[in-house]
Amino acid sequence: MKVSIKVIPGARVSEVVGEMEDGTLKVRVHAPPEKGKANDELVRVLAKHYGVSKSDVEVVRGHTSRQKIVEIKNASQ
């Protein structure tokens, strides 16, 4: 399944905040937006949230943007 994500990097705690009005999932990540650190943290947070392995989560679009499209394979939710 493909999910639209809005990422807030540099947050105090990494967590899924919730769904915005347009259906985009809002996620805070502790990592800074440098050298892919925030994307790596996003993958870890989403894998935990959906109960899948990190290899089942892939950023498809928006690698350098706060707005991303992420593909999640084998998701149960």
What domains are defined for the chain?
2-72 (3.30.1200.10)
End-to-end CA distance of the chain: 10
pLDDT tens per residue across span 18-58: 999 999 999 999 999 999 999 999 999 999 999 999 999 99
77 pLDDT more than 70: no
CA atoms lying within 13 Å on the CB side of residue 46: 30
- Give the predicted TM-score (pTM) of the model: 0.92
Alpha-carbon distance of 53 to 3, in angstroms, equals 16
**What is the structure's pLDDT at 45?**
98
CA atoms lying within 13 Å on the CB side of residue 4: 7
